[in-house]
Structure 1
């Protein structure tokens, strides 16, 4: 048995059925006589490859296998590796390396310190000392990727290792769910029982662990107000529920103000203190007690205030539900809904989102990367199903479009709707080619306000007027899509929007819809005070 045969055997044993890659010379020996049962999903740039694999991992719940070219390819991919790390997406990333005999001479294409290159944004990284150690290292990497908190791992393999002899890797399991300290969970339950006005903060960990039903049960038993953590990459709670209050702002003073009426706050799988712009003041209102349930010891360690209980969210919630008494508190105020947006020209993002809400098929998955319009989306299109929403939790652009493609590749038939800004689209537009090649069921909606409006909005808060480099004129998104094999349509006005969207949502395969919109949407948290 060769290293190559042992690795492919291991991938099959853990259910890997696809490889996401962009091939180079140092990967060719791995790809020799590639088996038909492992689909090779080609991406046209390495950051696109990683994000597409991430969408597939999110959809399947398993680590996705990524093949990158050596140093340069890994460098191209790092923006998406960073987001996968922040969003706890399990990826098994393998990069080629030059022949071992050439490494002392620092050859063309080689990585000088391959294991250090992607750090600190991988959980584990290595280049094995011997060729025969590659299969066991890959198996260890897979187990690390799938152990909470999940995330990307990295293995560098010299190209001549693949033909070396090796032993098969025995299959072994790691059962990684764990329950927090009983005394810590008891303290959380006691605080909730005595609270006058409790609140839950739902983080991406609730959705990642499939714990939404338990979170709903805890909220209803305690009559707690429910918020979603700042800049969360997932939803985790039905946003049409009577207890749902909205989305915490990523600004210290605004977040503390939003929680000022709550005496006990329990964060579930959420880094509560993830800020986007700086402000002073206390982290929490005076007298508010915070408890955090999460599986990541580093998140528990850096939280500046509160009590953290290390536990996987689903297991901790199950225990907490057995400890908490049902309380007959009054419900918090019902969250106000905005008035329907008007059909007017130029089209406004609010009208696009309202139209999508009416037309999206049941069970559709929403992927979003439109920073200028995210607050509008959250106000007007409630996510109600587990796994129904994905965005970037890191803020690094270029994630949404390829993640939507990968999520659709893992689809059981449900439609994926990807709402994008024009600036975000151009970071990873190559993924449209992969979408067309695999005929994935994605509707891409590009809200084109002709610029990096989110940067201009932040500039207003910082008193930076008209920053250069924020105008994006002259891009023909429909033409670009068609050139990559993806059908596209441009909306010419409000009256044109519904028929174009309706057809795009019912299409067999991917479709891009470009909607020129008025540049008038500013997230509340970036508006200057007053």
Structure 2
């Protein structure tokens, strides 16, 4: 007879889930004992880093990431990282060990009280099976819930004495299941969109992370060219859905109501694809849209469509919808937008810390053109987008919720999913939220290049303190950090580069490395 444990591993195999990201406790050991040889366990030293690694792996591979957390405490430690996974639509299957069933009612040590409520609202679905025989079915449901649009994390709490229990032979039927979503728009719905685009005198595209996630990059470029529309990236961008050196590219929209309306003031039809409407951040009130402008929203996410404060939405398969529009829309005779002027190469600093712009110019010149950047230096976002060319899908990842601690572990997980070079560009403030990811990179010989931009302060927070007239606030600086020593303590080769020549030489050597390397770069502070 199969057991809950053997049936679960068979189910995971059938769904091509063979990596387990975890930090185990006693409740998880019955699942992990006699770990199958065709699976790989990726150990992280903190649950936030564990979820971050699984998140990066899922974002790049497109596969579900299986996370194994320790009861309520481990789940609590992971919640910040889970926020990023929720807003990035990452299909994570998060499991947490629960105390043995006979001890749950008395709230024995390591009981997860009301376990299914704990991770909400940051999961699509959360569940604790009422009996051991329901565990494999619950895991199956979790996988399918996580991977269907809109994708997202799910959570299952499992009492540790369930794993050894026998289950019926019919449990094998779970591994034979498949679920797919059609999500096709009707011809009438497509024609309505086409008519609105054809009738617009000045349409504009705003593209978001799901364009990149559903590999619709080429289609939105072709649509922009066909209707001569400028293309903006939606605000608070966690991915790069449109090549940022293309002549139609306009930049990333500001994350403020008034700022967006100002940028769109010349347009009568705003076409939003694969993004929420909108992810605001700075409180700058104003009109949601320019006067006489209309908005249409193409999304895979019902919640994003429902909560938007304006516009008409169509929920479905983004790639198919854009394909259909592209086939039917008329090619305009309007002139295409003129390309943006890109900044000149930043002059080399002769003394003192480097400017971040210098580092980005060198990355743009020296890094592989298909490199994957995991970015968590919040004060340098604008400079990075202006100076580093990103023309390949899945080239850029940034914390989708704005919560720090994503960058370093996500870079580790991303590198596990690809042969493309992953380069983590991390601020010194951000790095400390998940510095333990260095240990995992060292132990598993994961060849991530970590670049720490060290300016001794929370740069973005400094900028916000000016906007909010709160420059006298404490806690804005982080002096005295030695990332070279910290990295070496975790087993990662590390170098401090104080000149541009040193950085260029070190980075080129890092590209040849077979394991991780950290480059600490003292820099000046710039504004987002």
Q: How far apart in 2 are the matches of 1:184 and 1:306? A: 15
Distance in 2 between residues matched to 1:187 and 1:291, nearest whole Å = 11
Task: Find the aligned partners of 1:310 and 1:420 in 2 and give their Cα distance.
Answer: 35
Structure 1 distance, partners of 2:111, 2:143, is: 24
1:334 equivalenced with 2:319 (yes/no): no
Q: Provide the rounded CA distance (Å) in 1 between the counterparts of 2:252 and 2:172.
A: 46
Map of 1:353 onto structure 2: 360
Instruction: Tell whether 2:179 aligns with 1:174.
Output: yes
Conserved? CA contact 1:370–1:419, under 8 Å: yes
Contact 2:277 2:309 (8 Å CA) reproduced: no
Q: How does 1:66-465 map to 2 (within 5 A)?
A: 66-167=67-168, 168-170=171-173, 171-344=176-349, 345=351, 346-411=353-418, 413-465=419-471
C-alpha separation between the residues in 2 aligned to 1:28 and 1:476?
Answer: 36
The worse-fitting range, judged by mean Cα deviation, of 491-500 and 334-343 is 491-500
Question: Corresponding residue for 1:513?
Answer: 519
Is the Cα contact below 8 Å between 1:365 and 1:414 reproduced in 2? yes
Equivalents in 2 of 1:25, 1:509: separation in Å? 31
Aligned to 1:14: 15
Q: Secondary structure at the match of 2:239?
A: coil
Mapped contact 1:343–1:495 kept (Cα < 8 A):
no
How far apart are residue 181 of structure 1 and its match?
A: 4.4
Residues 302-330 of structure 1 show CA distances to partners (whole Å, capped at 9, x for unaligned) of: 11011101112111111111221111211
Supply the distance in 2 between the matched residues of 1:273 and 1:32 (Cα, whole angstroms): 46
Question: In 1, distance between residues paired with 2:392 and 2:501?
Answer: 30
Deviant stretches of 4+, over 4 Å: none
CA distance in structure 1 between the partners assigned to 2:442 and 2:200 by the alignment: 53
Question: What does residue 527 of structure 1 align with?
Answer: none
TM-score of the aligned structures, taking structure 1 as reference length = 0.97
Within the candidate set 437, 443, 467, 2:473 is matched to 467
Following the alignment from structure 2 to structure 1, what is the Cα–Cα distance between the partners of residues 240 and 184?
Answer: 23
Q: Residue by residue, what CA displacement relative to the aligned partner does 1:243-299 show, whole Å, maximum 9, x if unpaired?
A: 111110001111111111111111101113211110111011111111000011111
Count, aligned residues: 521
* Cα separation, 1, equivalents of 2:14 and 2:69: 22
In structure 1, how many angstroms separate the alpha carbons of the residues matched to 2:309 and 2:135? Answer: 41
Question: Could you tell me how far apart the structure 2 residues matched to 1:155 and 1:169 are?
Answer: 20
C-alpha separation in 1, matches of 2:458 and 2:229: 38
Which secondary structure does the structure 1 equivalent of 2:31 belong to? coil
Pick aligned residue for 2:487 from 478, 481, 484? 481
* Unaligned ranges ≥5, structure 1: 524-530
For residues 169 and 261 of structure 1, the distance between their equivalents in structure 2, rounded to whole angstroms, comes to: 59
The Cα offsets for residues 52-88 of structure 1, whole Å up to 9 and x where unpaired, read as: 0111112221101110000100000011111101100
Q: Following the alignment from structure 1 to structure 2, what is the Cα–Cα distance between the partners of residues 240 and 6?
A: 49
In 1, distance between residues paired with 2:470 and 2:186? 49
**Preserved CA contact (<8 Å) 1:456 1:467:** no
Match of 1:46 in 2: 47
Structure 1 residue 213: Cα displacement: 1.2
- Rounded to whole Å, the distance in 2 between the matches of 1:284 and 1:183 is 26
Measured in 2, the distance between the counterparts of 1:34 and 1:495 equals: 47
Task: Tell me by how many angstroms 1:496 deviates.
Answer: 1.9
Quick one: distance in 1 between partners of 2:172 and 2:104?
27
- The answer to whether the 8 A contact 1:294-1:309 is kept is yes
d(CA) in 1 for partners of 2:39, 2:490: 25
Cα deviation, residue 177, structure 1: 4.0
Shift of 1:32: 1.4
The separation in 1 between residues aligned to 2:113 and 2:101, in whole angstroms, is 12
Deviations 1:419-465 (A, max 9, x none): 00001110001001111111112111110010111111101001112
SS at match of 2:123: coil
* 1:77-127 CA-partner distances (Å, limit 9, x unpaired): 011111101100000110000000011111111111100000000000100
Question: Contact 1:148/1:177 (CA < 8 Å) preserved in 2?
Answer: no
| SS of 1:191 mapped into structure 2 | helix
- 1:224/1:395 CA distance change after superposition, 3 Å: same
Taking the aligned partners of 2:181 and 2:383, their CA distance within structure 1 comes to: 38
Q: Tell me the TM-score normalized by structure 2.
A: 0.97
Q: 2: distance between equivalents of 1:66 and 1:485? A: 24
Distance (whole Å) between structure 2 residues aligned to residue 236 and residue 225 of structure 1 = 14
In the alignment, the residues of structure 2 paired with residue 407 and residue 255 of structure 1 have an alpha-carbon distance, to the nearest angstrom, of 32
